[in-house]
Amino acid sequence: MNHAAAAPATPAGSAGPPRRLRLPFMRGYYWLLIGLLYLPIVLLFIFSINANTTLSFPLKGFTVAWYEKLFATPALLNAVVNSLIVAVSSSIAATAFGSMVAILLSRFNFRGRKALTGLAMLPLIIPYVVLAVALLILFRAFGVSLSLVTVAIAHVVVALPYTTLIVLARLIGFDNQLEEAAMDLGATYPATLRLIVLPIAAPAIVSAWITAFTVSFDEFALALFLAGKDPTFPVYLYGQLRFATTLPVLIAAAVLLMAGTMTLIVVANRVRSR
């Protein structure tokens, strides 16, 4: 039961050393919360393999028709591909920029570091709706028509604080002795970055990339304003929510995408822990 109870009793006496909250209670609470968190998702999953055309009880029986129909809906597939394009490109850019900021903040002393920190963290503090309309004004003012590119730009901005923080946390945890040694031995700084700093930061860079990818892939509040005519998956989904009969297909698509995201995360976790 109490894994620490095996330790010799402390002077405090009977209850065992870690006199913290009781384990069974905590574990029960955890599982209760997990149950509540999964209930709506399980519900969605059930409706994705259920023959009802509308999302209402009672259930009518098992079907994979929605999954078949999904692959016969070009608009939906197109939206998924759009989301992939936006997420891949914006996450790569956000990771590159975030890593640069992280290297600057962890390895350089310079005037204006506080300003750079504030600037890089600012997107965390700006409400999405405000950033969305501000970017809308920018693009309108300069005659940039809305497209997947404008969505990707917004996603780079909002993902940047996350990628910066993730890489920064890793770099702060490492001394720069290796870098100093490399440079004492005649390596140029770019070579030192490539051969020492990037390998050190690599696991964090992978995490940062995944985080940026997932932030972008599911992002809706910015995309709704900035997507123009070619929708990303969440924007497409939103447009279809009014039509009750397409809901099961949409849910089936979302279930597949969730499986895809989770696979990505699990695989990346494996890669990182190597």
Partner 1 sequence: MTASADQLPRAPGPPTRRGGGSDPRRSSFWLLLSPPALVLGLFLIVPVLLMIAVSFRADISGQLLAPFTPTLKQFAQAFAGAGYWRVLGISALTAFGVAVIAVLTAYPVAYFLAFRAGKRASLYLILLLVPFWTSYLLRVMAWKLMLGEQGVVNEVLMGAGLIDEPLDALLYNRGAVVVTLVYVWIPFAALPILAGLGRIDVRLHEAAADLYGSPVQVFRRVTLPLSLPGVVAAFLMVFIPTVGEYVTPLLVGGTGGTMYGNLIQDFFTRAANWPLGSALSIIMLTVTLGLVIVGLRIVDPRRLLEPAS
Residue 271 CB, nearest approach to partner 1 (Å): 15
Q: For partner 1, give the closer residue by CB, 52 or 78.
A: 52
Shortest spacing between CB 215 and partner 1, in angstroms: 11
Alpha-carbon distance of 255 to 55, in angstroms, equals 15
Residue whose CB is less far from partner 1, 27 or 60: 27
Minimum distance, C-beta of residue 176 to partner 1, in the bound complex (Å): 4
Instruction: Report in angstroms how near the CB of residue 107 gets to partner 1 at its nearest.
Output: 5
Chain position carrying tokens 């506080």: 114
CB of 261 to partner 1, least distance (A): 5
Closest separation in Å from C-beta 191 to partner 1: 10
Nearer to partner 1, 17 or 203 (CB): 17
Question: Residue 42 to residues 29, 52, 119, 240: CA-CA distances in angstroms?
Answer: 19, 16, 40, 21
58 preceded by a cis bond (ω within 30 of 0): yes
Cα separation, 106 vs 196, whole angstroms = 14
Q: Which is nearer to partner 1, 81 or 241 (CB)?
A: 241
Query: For the chain, how long is the longest CA-to-CA vector?
Result: 74
User: CB–CB of 158/215 below 8 Å?
Assistant: yes
Mention every residue, 6+ apart, whose C-beta is less than 8 A from residue 251: 44, 45, 47, 48, 66
Considering the complex, state which of residue 75 and residue 130 has its C-beta at the smaller distance from partner 1. 130
**CB within 8 A of 150, min separation 6: which ones?**
135, 139, 144, 226, 227, 228
CB of 111 to partner 1, least distance (A): 7
Compare residues 86 and 237 and give the one whose CB is closer to partner 1.
Answer: 237
Token pair recorded at residue 158: 């909002």
Torsions phi, psi for 50 (to 5 deg): -120, 145
Nearer residue to partner 1 within complex by CB, 64 or 262: 262
Distance CA 233, CA 258 (A): 13
Give the integer Cα–Cα distance in Å for 160 and 158: 6
